[in-house]
């Protein structure tokens, strides 16, 4: 581990592990402030693309997170011959995936879902304004604070930069993301813009409102899921959505619109009446 990192931070216990990195708790020696440090071993990266992505992730996360309260902020980056270490804000709560799982099938209330969608849409709007697309929005990458009232976007390992104002077809390319959450233009091998993030957030909203019981575009294999995503036939089964408002369904239709030119932007999501009303304004919103 980097000598400079160890000199400036006291490294604590492991608190998470992903495909490429290990996350540990750490404390800044000068201030006593608690942070998290994600350490990626370069030798464990499979190819040149992965190695390049690990190096770019920290820089993109810094660009996306500066002054953006909806993104897990990067404090510092340390790199040596064998490792990349990214010191970031510490989020004490679970990620949204675990939050959904711990409810054991109980759907999120509309105010709870609206609170998460609003916060992540605001984070995405700021990212998109700066020319950053996340490209892997999913519950695992949405972190909650200890009280469960603040949601933040994390893990920019799949992110890419584009030229703001020139989004839509032609901005980015490549099959990136997670099967259930990826947008149809990505699966189709087309060039695409930042609205792929809005599609993914729409899927997150759907999953929250069904308690994780269903995804809008499912299948038993990645190929079947991709085929369902390409068809883009969005349905709201009565057994799952009987109690869900027409406003929530309208927003999901606009977020998961197959045609990117007609799909909502992150800014438009924030102006939708369902979001502006807080999904019903319950006291139990996240």
> Which residues pair with residue 86 across a beta bridge?
38, 77
Kindly state the tokens that stand for 156: 């920019």
Kindly state the tokens that stand for 160: 């890419």
- In this structure, what DSSP letter does residue 71 have? B
59 annotated as ligand-binding: no
DSSP per-residue codes, 213-236:
S--SS--SSHHHHHHHHHHT----
145 is a catalytic site residue:
no
Report yes or no: 204 and 117 within 8 Å, Cβ to Cβ: yes
CA distance 81 to 99: 37
Report yes or no: 92 and 195 within 8 Å, Cβ to Cβ: no
Q: Residue 86 contacts by C-beta under 8 Å, 6 or more apart in sequence?
A: 37, 38, 40, 57, 58, 61, 74, 76, 77
Residue 273, judged by CB atoms within 10 A of its CB (0-12, 13-18, 19+), counts as: exposed
**Residue of 80, 95, 98, 136 marked active site:** 136
Give the residue ranges of DSSP H helices in the chain: 3-8, 48-65, 96-102, 110-129, 184-187, 196-209, 222-231, 238-241, 246-255, 266-271, 273-276
CA distance 234 to 216: 6
Residues assigned a catalytic role? 136
Q: Which residues are annotated as a binding site for ATP?
A: 38
Q: Which residues are annotated as a binding site?
A: 38
């Amino acid at each position: 581990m980097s000598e400079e990192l160890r000199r400036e931070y006291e490294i604590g216990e492991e608190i998470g592990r992903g495909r490429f990195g290990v996350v540990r708790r750490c404390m800044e020696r000068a201030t006593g402030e608690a942070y998290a440090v994600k350490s990626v071993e370069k030798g464990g990266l499979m190819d040149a693309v992965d190695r390049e992505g690990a190096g770019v992730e920290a820089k993109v996360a810094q660009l996306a997170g500066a002054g953006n309260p909806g993104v897990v902020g990067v404090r510092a980056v340390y790199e040596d011959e064998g490792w990349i270490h990214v010191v970031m804000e510490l989020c004490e709560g679970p990620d949204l995936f675990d939050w959904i799982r711990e409810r054991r099938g109980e759907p999120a209330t509309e105010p709870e879902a609206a609170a998460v969608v609003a916060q992540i849409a605001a984070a995405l709007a700021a990212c998109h304004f700066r020319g950053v697309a996340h490209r892997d929005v999913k519950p695992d990458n949405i972190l909650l604070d200890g009280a469960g009232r603040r949601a933040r976007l994390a893990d920019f390992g799949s992110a890419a930069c584009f030229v703001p104002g020139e989004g839509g077809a032609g901005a980015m390319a490549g099959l990136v993301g997670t099967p259930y959450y990826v947008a149809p233009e990505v699966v189709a091998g087309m060039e695409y813009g930042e609205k792929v993030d809005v599609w993914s957030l729409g899927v997150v909203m759907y999953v929250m409102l069904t308690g994780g019981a269903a995804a809008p575009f499912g299948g038993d294999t990645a190929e079947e899921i991709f085929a369902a995503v390409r068809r883009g036939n969005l349905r709201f089964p009565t057994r799952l959505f009987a109690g869900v408002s027409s406003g929530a369904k309208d927003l999901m239709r606009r977020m998961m619109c197959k045609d990117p030119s007609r799909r909502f932007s992150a800014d438009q999501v924030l102006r939708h009446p369902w979001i502006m009303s807080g999904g019903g304004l319950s006291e139990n919103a996240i």
